[in-house]
Amino acid sequence: MAIRIALAGNPNCGKTTLFNLLTGTHQYVGNWPGVTVEKKEGKLKKHTDVKVTDLPGIYSLSPYTPEEVVARNYLTEEKPEVILNIVDGSHIERNLYLTTQLLELGIPVVVAVNMMDIVRKSGDKIKTAELSKLLGCPVVEISALKNQGTDKAIEECMKAAEGAKPVPQHTFSGPVEHAIAHIEEAVLHDRPEQQQRWYAIKLFERDEKIIEKLGISEETLKHIEEDIKKAETEMDDDAESIITNARYEYIGTLMKKCYHKKNSKALTVSDKIDKVVTNRILALPIFVIVMFLVYSLVMMPVPMPWGDSLGTIMTDWANDGVFGDEGWYLFGIGQGDYDTAMDEYAEKNIWTNEFKADIDKAVKADALGAEDISGAIEDGSFSDFDEAYGTYSSSLEEYFTENNIEYTFTDIYDEATGEDAQELPEKASYGVFVKSIPALLEPAFENAPSWLHGLVFDGIIGGVGAVLGFVPQMLLLFLFLAFLEGCGYMARIAFVLDRVFRRFGLSGKSFIPMLVGSGCGVPGIMASRTIESQRDRRMTIMTTTFIPCGAKMPIIALLTAALFGGAWWVAPSAYFLGVAAIIISGIMLKKTKMFAGDPAPFVMELPAYHLPTVGSILRSMWERGWSFIKKAGTIILISSVLIWLGNTLGWNDGVFGYYEEFGDDGLSILNAIGNAICWIFAPLGFGEATATVATIMGLVAKEEVVGVFGVLDFKGLAPLAGYSFLAFNLLCAPCFAAIGAIKREMNSAKWTLFAVGYQCIFAYATALMIYQFGLLFTGSVNIIGLIAAILVLGIICFMVFRPTPKSHKLKASTA
């Protein structure tokens, strides 16, 4: 018989560990429909006809959180054959509270008391046989971590699935039972008998969701209300309290009979750790150190005195090695020798006196980028030189042609690095040189038509590769996140930072996504999964990408160099802009209808510290990484190909077709679109086709903005328009990869659209204000534009400073 087992239990009770143990690799991870609650299903390792569903970790079956609603809907509608309720033996009192509710559902329940090893070690005693008798359901002792007793638990589940439906052993006081009986009789007689008690209790609690679901008429409701009122008067309390109190009182009697606590006042190890970690004085410094460690290892986009961060090294390897033009040295062996050889070669063959003379001329004339190139030559580093040369050589050429000065440096470079160059060091002779994916594929496409070559290399590998290149770094980050979460520190971060973040409608845990977002928005958005409250999570997802990520750095760097003469304040102002955008958005959004009606109580358990297992950390890391890779394979693939098509299809001399390059009169589809819609950006100061195309290309990857726009095009912009362009591109819709991540985490097309739409509108408003108010100082005021900017400022001020709309009674979650 096909049996479905539902795993239910409190958060941190070891449910996920047990689930992984039972199902091994036969897992499916997804989302419950319409909510951002993770759904996990799997098949038993030993009985593949038994399906296990891992319900979200919950404390109760109330109608107020999406997790709880998802769980109770599954249990009442899908009616699994048996519930395996995992109970944390070290916090048994609170854990049994859920058990009392599960027992009322009319589904066989098996209670597995987990962490029995810890309980025994602390000297406490739980009499499980007695507990089983009192609860009226099987109770087994297990330790998921040490894989003890799990076979027995499954065995009991199989038995229970075929056995009789359970009858809850706990009863409420006389008046309540009286009311419940009345409710059953009045409205529930056509419901399955074993579910009647559950629904009756929920109706007694005035559970709005259940009332709605059962479609109870006003009249009957009034009738029931009389019964409830009567019980309430008699008990001198409200219905919800009566039920909750009764449950905990019942658990109290169970505890007396089955639980013996070794009375020790000694602090546990966890208590001792916590005394230090969330200490009033030490908490913040410790937090800063932990964050700095993680950040400098994983994300740091600029090299520290002791070298690049591990994450940067991994991304460089993936981007320049695996997806690069040539390949990489196995374990980096040979790279050093090759670099030295190249430095020597460059010294002799590239940086000749003529070459240096040209560069010196450019430096004296202050040509863009000349300083960078000459600096690299002085340092004698070919790799630095090559990077600078790649970026700025066209700018230098332009300078020489414009001023009618003869130059030879490009010829020298081309000759020395071309295919016919003698003595040019061969990469393969310095170590085990592994070819990159493009280099490996190249021979296969040698005779392919050029469009196919372009599609594969520029479209697919270029687009998807740019995104997959981040995977190693992301896995590293997820590893750290999984550890912080698993050991219990993540909850403390929320505890320490809650006060700061809640003012902006965010959670203390929003800090991590934003910090990570300064490296890459995609893992930043995915890190938001550690935030329990759906409202805070959505808000965090929407605002995380406002922080300039690593790919936006080149845009900032180039604009700073090209338009602001390398002014020191440009880069910090970009970060300031990002933070301000988050704060303003947070305050505005939390007052909107979409967020205001959905308050999230911050009443949170601080789990005991413990060392997570290596397996659980690796699994968590892989789950997140994999869900991202899947995205890259679908959404990102399609979008990259579309953008590639837009770039290569078009008109040359009036003939439509595929072209590798467009002449002066030619026009690609993307450029045509740019021409058609560039008027939109006119009020922001950059209403021209190139800037528009660059912005569109930014959707593939933000650094593409620089690629399309090029150093020289920036020169055409006035500094003010340039800054407006920068602001817009920093704040508007992120790249496809990040949009994919938003879609994945929001689990709703509507919310994804709202998030991206909001970002674009906010970016537009910001850039509009920057440009129009900026014009005031340059003296060329545009009256209509100025009025528009003042209007926008007024609207934002109103939305920030208006009082929070009275939220109509705290409503049940809409999930």
Partner 1 sequence: MKTLRQAQVGQTVRVVKLHGEGALRRRMMDMGITKGTEIYIRKIAPLGDPVEVNIRGYELTLRKEDAGIVEIETEEN
Distance CA 483, CA 523 (A): 15
Strand locations in 67-108 (E): 82-88
Q: In terms of CB distance, is 59 or 392 closer to partner 1? A: 59
Please count the other Cβ atoms lying within 10 Å of the Cβ belonging to residue 211.
17
The dihedral through the CA atoms of 454, 457, 458, 461 has a sign that is positive
Q: In terms of CB distance, is 254 or 367 closer to partner 1? A: 254
Q: In terms of CB distance, is 73 or 244 closer to partner 1? A: 244
* Least distance in angstroms from the C-beta of 706 to partner 1: 40
Q: Which of 435, 364, 376 is nearest to 403 (CA)?
A: 364
Q: In terms of CB distance, is 165 or 503 closer to partner 1? A: 503
Q: In terms of CB distance, is 269 or 797 closer to partner 1? A: 269
Please count the other Cβ atoms lying within 10 Å of the Cβ belonging to residue 58.
20
Q: In terms of CB distance, is 2 or 281 closer to partner 1? A: 281
Which tokens hold the place of 328? 């990489």
End-to-end C-alpha distance for the chain, whole angstroms: 33
Which tokens hold the place of 751? 């919310």
Q: In terms of CB distance, is 189 or 809 closer to partner 1? A: 809
* Least distance in angstroms from the C-beta of 118 to partner 1: 13
Give the CB-side neighbour count of residue 656, counting CA atoms within 13 A: 4
* Least distance in angstroms from the C-beta of 135 to partner 1: 18
Residue 277's identity, in one-letter code, is: V
- Judged by DSSP in three states, 21 sits in helix
DSSP 332: G
Q: In terms of CB distance, is 154 or 600 closer to partner 1? A: 600
* Least distance in angstroms from the C-beta of 491 to partner 1: 8
Please count the other Cβ atoms lying within 10 Å of the Cβ belonging to residue 675.
14
DSSP 46: S
* Least distance in angstroms from the C-beta of 233 to partner 1: 16
* Least distance in angstroms from the C-beta of 273 to partner 1: 12
* Least distance in angstroms from the C-beta of 725 to partner 1: 38
Query: CA-based angle 626:535:581, to the nearest 5?
Result: 90
* Least distance in angstroms from the C-beta of 489 to partner 1: 14
* Least distance in angstroms from the C-beta of 63 to partner 1: 9
Using the structure block, give the residue that is written with the tokens 């920030």.
800
* Least distance in angstroms from the C-beta of 39 to partner 1: 22
Q: In terms of CB distance, is 10 or 692 closer to partner 1? A: 10
Which residues does residue 656 pair with via DSSP β-bridges, in sequence order?
A: 651
Q: In terms of CB distance, is 4 or 127 closer to partner 1? A: 127
Please count the other Cβ atoms lying within 10 Å of the Cβ belonging to residue 406.
7
Q: In terms of CB distance, is 171 or 279 closer to partner 1? A: 279
> Which string of b and e fits 233-271 if b means at least 16 CB within 10 Å?
eebeeebeebbeebbeebbeebbeebbeeeeeeeeeeee
Residue 154's identity, in one-letter code, is: I
Contact 684, 728 (CB under 8 A): yes
Contact 405, 361 (CB under 8 A): yes
Q: In terms of CB distance, is 598 or 688 closer to partner 1? A: 598
Which tokens hold the place of 354? 């003529």
* Least distance in angstroms from the C-beta of 658 to partner 1: 58
Q: In terms of CB distance, is 94 or 127 closer to partner 1? A: 94
* Least distance in angstroms from the C-beta of 99 to partner 1: 13
* Least distance in angstroms from the C-beta of 284 to partner 1: 5
Q: In terms of CB distance, is 259 or 478 closer to partner 1? A: 259
* Least distance in angstroms from the C-beta of 68 to partner 1: 9
Q: In terms of CB distance, is 171 or 403 closer to partner 1? A: 171
Determine phi and psi for 232, rounding to 5 degrees: -65, -45
Which tokens hold the place of 766? 């910001």
Give the CB-side neighbour count of residue 21, counting CA atoms within 13 A: 19
Q: In terms of CB distance, is 123 or 163 closer to partner 1? A: 123
* Least distance in angstroms from the C-beta of 586 to partner 1: 17
Task: Give, for 39, the enclosing helix (H) or strand (E).
Answer: strand 38-43
Q: In terms of CB distance, is 41 or 237 closer to partner 1? A: 237
Q: Which of 398, 315, 439, 441 is nearest to 703 (CA)?
A: 315
* Least distance in angstroms from the C-beta of 608 to partner 1: 8
Distance CA 247, CA 96 (A): 9
Which tokens hold the place of 446? 């040698």
Q: In terms of CB distance, is 268 or 782 closer to partner 1? A: 268
Contact 775, 781 (CB under 8 A): yes
Determine phi and psi for 300, rounding to 5 degrees: -30, 110
Which residues does residue 42 pair with via DSSP β-bridges, in sequence order?
A: 27, 52
Exposed/middle/buried for residue 77 (C-beta within 10 Å: 0-12, 13-18, 19+) = exposed
- Judged by DSSP in three states, 270 sits in helix
* Least distance in angstroms from the C-beta of 387 to partner 1: 44
* Residue 415 CB partners (closer than 8 Å, separation 6+): 421
Which tokens hold the place of 561? 């160099």
* Least distance in angstroms from the C-beta of 206 to partner 1: 11
> Which string of b and e fits 756-773 if b means at least 16 CB within 10 Å?
bebbeebbbbbbbbbbbb
Q: Which of 140, 160, 150, 157 is nearest to 18 (CA)?
A: 150
Residues that bind partner 1 (CB under 8 A): 59-60, 62, 64-65, 90-94, 97, 237, 240-241, 244-245, 248, 274, 278-281, 283-284, 494-500, 502, 599-608, 809-813
- Judged by DSSP in three states, 804 sits in coil
